[in-house]
Amino acid sequence: MTHPVSSPPPPVALCDYEHLAEQRLSPNARAYLEGAAADEITLTENRAAFDRLRLSSAVLRDMSEASTRTHLLGLELDHPILLAPVAYHKLAHPDGELATVHGAGAARAAMVVSTQASVALEDIARAAKSPLWFQLYIQPDRGFTAELVARAKAAGYSALVVTVDAPASLRNREQRAGFRLPHGVEAVNLKGMASPNVAAGAIGESPLFSGFLAGIATWADIEWLRGICDLPIILKGVLSPTDAHKAVAEGVRGLVVSNHGGRVLDTLPATIEALPRIADTVEGQVPILLDGGIRRGTDILKALALGASAVMVGRPYMHALAVAGAAGVAHAIHLLRAELEVAMAITGRAQLEEIDDTVLWRP
C-alpha cells in the first residue's frame, strides 16, 4: 500500500519562509542575501537584542476602535511596515522587483526601491499599487546621480532614502562562496554610468585608502541633493546621536536607524539598542524608522515603544519572494501585521500613538 507524499505545511511565521527559502535559493544567492560583515556578530545581535526585551501585558482595555493606521511624511499607511531596499531581487525570483511590488501592493505596504534593483525603477513604479520611495547610493559621478534622482521623481517616487553607511565592506561569506551575479541579473538603473578605475592595493599597499574612497558622499552632498530635488530626504544608516543631530540641522526629513543588516562593519550595535539614543536626540522633530532583525510583530511593537515611527524589513520578504513570489511577499507582511495586532491587543494599545516604553517589562 502506497501512502501519498505529504506536502509541507504552509508558512505561519517568517521563520518558515526562511527555512523554505534555503531549499529554493542557490548557494550563490544565499551567500549574498544571508551574508554579513566579517564574523556576522552584528547580524546575530540584531535579532538577539529584540529577544532580550520583554513586554508588559495589560488587561480589560477597550480595543473596539483599534487600528494600525499611521501617517509618515505625507503618506497615510494602513500599517507601519515598509519593505526595505534590497538589491537584485532577481536573485530570488525571475520576476524580481516586479513580483515584490505586486506583493507590496496586495499587503498595502510602502516599498523602498534599491538603486541596485534588477528591474528599471520606472517599470517598478508602473506596477505599484502602494507608495514608493527610492533608495539612493550617491554615485562618484554626481551628474549621473542627479539624473537618477530626476528619474525617480518623474516616475512618482515620493521620497529619497539616502544610504550613508556603506562606503565599503568586506563580507567573508560572499568571499568564501566566490559570489558573482548570475547572467541576466544586474543593477539596470546604473547602466551607462562610468565606473571609477581604482586598482585594488597589492600586498604591502593600502587596500582602501589609495583612491577607492575618493568619491564617497559627505554632508556637502546632502546639501547638494536638497538643492537639486524637493523630495523629502531620509538618511539611512544613522547610529550616532551626533549624526542624528546634524542631520536634523541639515534639513533631513527622516532617519533610518540601521546597521545595513550587519553587512558593513561587524560589532556595530544592534539597531534596537541604538534606537533610544537617536530618539532622545531627535525629540520628535523628524520620524525615525528602524531596520535590522525584525522577524515578529512583537519586534515592531518594541521598536515603536523605543521611538520608531515605523519599521522596514528586508531579508524576510526576500525569503518569501523566493518561496512564493508576489503572493509570498504579501503573505509575509500580512503575518507581521497580524502579529503586531495581537501584540497591541495583549498589551492594551489600541492605536500606534499609545505605544511607548511603558509597554516594556522593567524588572
Residue 363: what pLDDT?
A: 87
Q: Which of 300, 256, 311, 315 is nearest to 282 (CA)?
A: 256
Residue 313: what pLDDT?
A: 98
Residue 5: what pLDDT?
A: 62
Q: Which domains are delineated in the chain?
A: 14-56+66-179+216-359 (3.20.20.70)
Q: Is 263 helix (H, G, I), strand (E, B) or coil?
A: coil
| Active-site residue, 334 included | no
Residue 267: what pLDDT?
A: 98
CB 129 within 8 A of CB 174: no
Residue 198: what pLDDT?
A: 56
C-alpha–C-alpha distance, residues 311 and 317, integer Å:
13
C-alpha–C-alpha distance, residues 342 and 322, integer Å:
27
Q: Which member of 102, 260, 319, 331 is catalytic?
A: 260
The count of residues in the chain is 363
Residue 46: what pLDDT?
A: 98
pTM over 0.85: yes
C-alpha–C-alpha distance, residues 292 and 316, integer Å:
10
- pLDDT tens by residue, the chain, 363 residues: 566 666 778 999 999 999 999 999 999 999 999 999 999 999 999 999 999 999 999 999 999 999 999 999 999 999 999 999 999 999 999 999 999 999 999 999 999 999 999 999 999 999 999 999 999 999 999 999 999 999 999 999 999 999 999 888 899 999 999 999 999 999 999 999 987 665 566 888 877 787 778 779 999 999 999 999 999 999 999 999 999 999 999 999 999 999 999 999 999 999 999 999 999 999 999 999 999 999 999 999 999 999 999 999 999 999 999 999 999 999 999 999 999 999 999 999 999 999 999 999 998
Residue 105: what pLDDT?
A: 98
Residue 196: what pLDDT?
A: 66
| Pairing state between β 132-136 and 288-291 | unpaired
Residue 167: what pLDDT?
A: 85
Q: Which of 148, 124, 125 is nearest to 136 (CA)?
A: 148
Euclidean distance between the first and final Cα of the chain, in Å?
Answer: 58
Pinpoint the alpha helices (H) of the chain: 14-24, 27-34, 41-52, 97-106, 121-127, 142-155, 172-177, 219-228, 241-249, 271-282, 297-305, 315-347
Residue 3: what pLDDT?
A: 61
